[in-house]
Structure 1
Amino acid sequence: MVTLPTTFNAFPSEIISMFIDHLDDIMDLGNLMLASSTVWRHLEQDQSVLTVVDRMLKDGPTHRETSFFIHALAHLRCESPLLETYIDAHGLDFTAYRSWAYMQNPLLGTLPHTMSPAQVRGLLTTSSAISATALRCITLFADRFNAMRPLTEWASFDVYTNDWTHLPAGPRHHVPDTGPLRWGEVQRALKAFWMIQFSRIFFDTFNRGAFDWPQDRMLKISEMTPTEIFGFECYEACLGVGRGDHPWTYFLDVHYIYSCAEEYLDEIKTSSHVSSDRDLPPVQRVEGDDEEWPATSLSMKRFARIFKEIRYRQDGDGFRPWRRLGFAIWDTERLKLAGFINDIRKDPNPDNVHWLTITRSEQLDRTRWLSVIRKEDFRFVQQHRLVAQDSESEEHPSDYDTDTYTWSP
């Protein structure tokens, strides 16, 4: 925990107010609050803590998508009747990754006015813990990513018939230093951990009987998995038609980053080593980063393109071998430096992205991606090989006329 000199705690209230006004991140405020009881007493005394935190979430560096889940979690912790009313009107779609569902929702744009200073303090403590966990997670993934040695030349290889021993031996690409963690990458991971926290608190609150909903809705929610409340099943629609460039692939990385975060949490449960906050790297911010970030790291589009035979199931197993390398998290520039993306070009329609192939064939692309995963993960890919079905899905528009795929046993 951060410690402050005793002279700081001796500052008058006016000086502390000026200091707090210059903070813009709730993680910084949470750490300061933990380090200085004087700061917290100041915030609690004049009841300004709600205003301060709302300002930081609105104007600070935390991305608006992450801020949404922080606000929603606050309403959930307070068992806010406004949140229950909103869920009554919109169902659990309010958590779905759709801009119309929450980006312009005034209800969740501020902390609930009934939230006590003690509850805000708990929220800030949670924020500090989540931020530290997200940084440890992404740092571990970055170390693994930078240690990769992907293949660089084409060789005859078929993932569906060859085993691991037939994977070409080389040559391999030496991944250069891809630079420090970027703000957008950290924000992607941070959002995933906030979503996990929201899911946990939601089901805890639900199981306590806090919501007075119709019986059919209560039964439906009781049968849901934690990921189902976010509507991840909706993101799979594009994959039923085998289209890696379908607009719905825009949403897939949310599911896979969430899965990466869950896998990391499972991993550290069995790990004896826990890094300290001093091990965490500084996050590089580039001018303009705080305004926008790409909703997808673009690796998902590439992955969907070269592994279009692999049907992503709702549980995200299709991407499992690459989770521990953080592929869904990384910015395009990091992937380019590592040799997984050569370039992209955009047409006048900003929603369309056309990929330039990075090698002479998609066969080599697939081999390159397979060359960086573990032996046991390679076997997993083989065990989930697919059988093409020459049929058109009735769930999708007829203009997407292509094969659909199912998992073979």
Structure 2
Amino acid sequence: MDAFSSLPDPILVLILKYLPDFTSLDVLIHASPVMSSIFDRCAAEIIENVASRNMSSCFRYILQHAGSAAVANETWSDVAEFHSAQTWSNPSKGVLKSLPIPVLRRLVTSASNVEYLCHIFLHTHLHRIHSMKPTHLLHPGTRLDPYAVTKYDPALAGLKYSIPDTGPPSWVEIQRVLRALWRLSTYYELGFAMPLLQSKPGEQTKVQDLSYQDFWTHLPWWEIDEMECVYEHLIEIGELDLFQPGNCAPLSRLPPGPLENEDGSCRLSPVPQDDALGNKWGQSQEALQRKSPASHFFLSLCHRGPNVSSRVLGGATWQSFRRLGFGFWDLKRMSQLEMMNPPLNLHRDLTTSSMKQKPYTQDDLKFTWMSVLSNK
């Protein structure tokens, strides 16, 4: 007997609407025939309610367009018309209600997959940065000619230091990963639903032959960069098949230990308050609309773009730092990693009063960034 069969329908609707995430929703409507039936009656309302607690309002529209992409639309003659038909700023009322129930069910499964991929991405990349062994200059304050330093020189390095545990991901960091995953999901969904849709009128390039970068070419470069970081990670772990419609996430393969919230619980990360402290650390809602602090810093060193080698950083391109997830981390995490500020352990590194008097310069920070690339 279904455990939910004794409850009145209004209570069942409330249970579904206030589930903590799409994974719980997906599991429940597949496990309970009663809940499955209730979901079919008010699917759009339930999805929108769950999304309101999981996704930033500034990109919740992506959820709607991921659903729209699953329905072949003969009014779109090319990809440009698909984009122009969407409202890329705010969710529109009634979009989900116009979609058939099978599409909405598939959307819930896709949302569950996105949550799964977000979880393993953050686990992997937090572990990756905590495995780094960067160094500071042996004599902080030493003036270096940035264009004369072409590689990391161990002779100038102090002791390697271990990265401390910088804590769980913030709301802004999670939302950056979710945004990238949803855009990749939309790209794959449209390629499945309308593989012959052209990229431009008269061109032979179809969606299935169009890269996701070209599909989203109208976006700011740093949002495309977020997708590139996620995509490279999915290739590494072999999970690209989760973007194929109907495939379910192998939840049994989630890393041990859930991603805790900043308050130590396993609840969803709270929406940050737009206050002075949040703005300082890049943890405000507005920060989600800007490039990450690390990518902003890299551009200030490179001057010519993220894909151009930086002479200041030993010829490295942004891709080397993207692999560490730097495009997602907020300023607080980058500061805790000692990659965006004077060393937190500066007082322990300096043993003489003469060294303490030397200022910490941007050259010292460049050296620390280069030290991360010493084995590449």
The answer to whether TM tops 0.5 is yes
Taking a change above 3 Å as real, the CA distance of residues 308 and 114 of structure 1, as seen in their structure-2 partners, is same
Give the TM-score of the pair, scaled to structure 2. Answer: 0.72
- Once the two structures are TM-superposed, the CA of residue 203 in structure 1 deviates from its matched residue by 2.6
Q: Does 1:276 align with 2:254?
A: yes
Unaligned stretches of 5+ residues in structure 2: 240-251, 263-268, 275-283, 309-315, 343-358
Checking the alignment, whether the CA contact within 8 Å between 1:184 and 1:293 is kept in structure 2 is no
| Deviation string, structure 1 residues 65-90 (Cα, Å, up to 9, x no partner) | 442222111111112457x389665x
2:134 to 150, 154, 157: 150
- Once the two structures are TM-superposed, the CA of residue 223 in structure 1 deviates from its matched residue by 6.2
Q: Does 1:191 align with 2:179?
A: yes
Q: Does 1:371 align with 2:371?
A: yes
Q: Does 1:255 align with 2:242?
A: no
- Once the two structures are TM-superposed, the CA of residue 11 in structure 1 deviates from its matched residue by 3.3
Hey, what's the Cα distance between the residues in 2 that align with 1:129 and 1:14?
28
Hey, what's the Cα distance between the residues in 1 that align with 2:339 and 2:200?
50
- Once the two structures are TM-superposed, the CA of residue 279 in structure 1 deviates from its matched residue by 3.6
Hey, what's the Cα distance between the residues in 1 that align with 2:83 and 2:227?
18
- Once the two structures are TM-superposed, the CA of residue 49 in structure 1 deviates from its matched residue by 0.8
Hey, what's the Cα distance between the residues in 2 that align with 1:120 and 1:171?
55
Which residue type is aligned with residue 254 of structure 2?
Answer: S
2:216 to 223, 227, 230: 230
Partner of 1:379: none
Q: Does 1:11 align with 2:11?
A: no
Checking the alignment, whether the CA contact within 8 Å between 2:18 and 2:50 is kept in structure 1 is no
1:292 to 273, 285, 292: 285
Hey, what's the Cα distance between the residues in 1 that align with 2:200 and 2:295?
39
2:69 to 69, 76, 83: 76
Hey, what's the Cα distance between the residues in 1 that align with 2:221 and 2:190?
23
Unaligned stretches of 5+ residues in structure 1: 96-100, 235-250, 344-358, 377-409
| Deviation string, structure 1 residues 171-204 (Cα, Å, up to 9, x no partner) | 3344332111212111111111111111122233
Hey, what's the Cα distance between the residues in 2 that align with 1:213 and 1:299?
33
Q: Percent identity?
A: 16
Which residue type is aligned with residue 228 of structure 1?
Answer: D
Taking a change above 3 Å as real, the CA distance of residues 32 and 160 of structure 1, as seen in their structure-2 partners, is farther
Which residue type is aligned with residue 43 of structure 2?
Answer: V
Taking a change above 3 Å as real, the CA distance of residues 127 and 277 of structure 1, as seen in their structure-2 partners, is farther
Q: Any residues of structure 2 matched to 1:138-177 within 5 Å, and which?
A: 138-153=122-137, 154=140, 162-163=150-151, 166=154, 168-177=156-165
Q: Does 1:266 align with 2:235?
A: yes
Hey, what's the Cα distance between the residues in 2 that align with 1:105 and 1:122?
19
| Deviation string, structure 1 residues 112-134 (Cα, Å, up to 9, x no partner) | 44422222111111111111111
Partner of 2:354: none
| Deviation string, structure 1 residues 303-331 (Cα, Å, up to 9, x no partner) | 11123366526xxx931111221111111
Partner of 1:111: 95
Hey, what's the Cα distance between the residues in 1 that align with 2:67 and 2:373?
39
Taking a change above 3 Å as real, the CA distance of residues 36 and 369 of structure 1, as seen in their structure-2 partners, is farther
Partner of 1:402: none
Checking the alignment, whether the CA contact within 8 Å between 1:136 and 1:280 is kept in structure 2 is no
Taking a change above 3 Å as real, the CA distance of residues 20 and 265 of structure 1, as seen in their structure-2 partners, is same
Q: Any residues of structure 2 matched to 1:284-323 within 5 Å, and which?
A: 284=262, 285-286=269-270, 288=272, 292-294=285-287, 295=289, 296-308=291-303, 312=307, 318-323=317-322
Hey, what's the Cα distance between the residues in 2 that align with 1:213 and 1:330?
33
Partner of 1:128: 112
Which residue type is aligned with residue 269 of structure 1?
Answer: G
Checking the alignment, whether the CA contact within 8 Å between 2:177 and 2:230 is kept in structure 1 is yes
| Deviation string, structure 1 residues 10-65 (Cα, Å, up to 9, x no partner) | 53433312322433644442233244332112222xx21122213433x3331134
Hey, what's the Cα distance between the residues in 2 that align with 1:363 and 1:219?
46
Hey, what's the Cα distance between the residues in 1 that align with 2:89 and 2:204?
26
Which residue type is aligned with residue 371 of structure 2?
Answer: S
- Once the two structures are TM-superposed, the CA of residue 146 in structure 1 deviates from its matched residue by 2.1
Partner of 2:325: 326
Hey, what's the Cα distance between the residues in 2 that align with 1:174 and 1:277?
23
Hey, what's the Cα distance between the residues in 2 that align with 1:157 and 1:166?
16
Checking the alignment, whether the CA contact within 8 Å between 1:78 and 1:112 is kept in structure 2 is no
- Once the two structures are TM-superposed, the CA of residue 333 in structure 1 deviates from its matched residue by 0.8
Checking the alignment, whether the CA contact within 8 Å between 2:129 and 2:324 is kept in structure 1 is yes
- Once the two structures are TM-superposed, the CA of residue 159 in structure 1 deviates from its matched residue by 7.8
Q: What is the alpha-carbon root mean square deviation over aligned residues?
A: 3.7
Taking a change above 3 Å as real, the CA distance of residues 118 and 310 of structure 1, as seen in their structure-2 partners, is closer
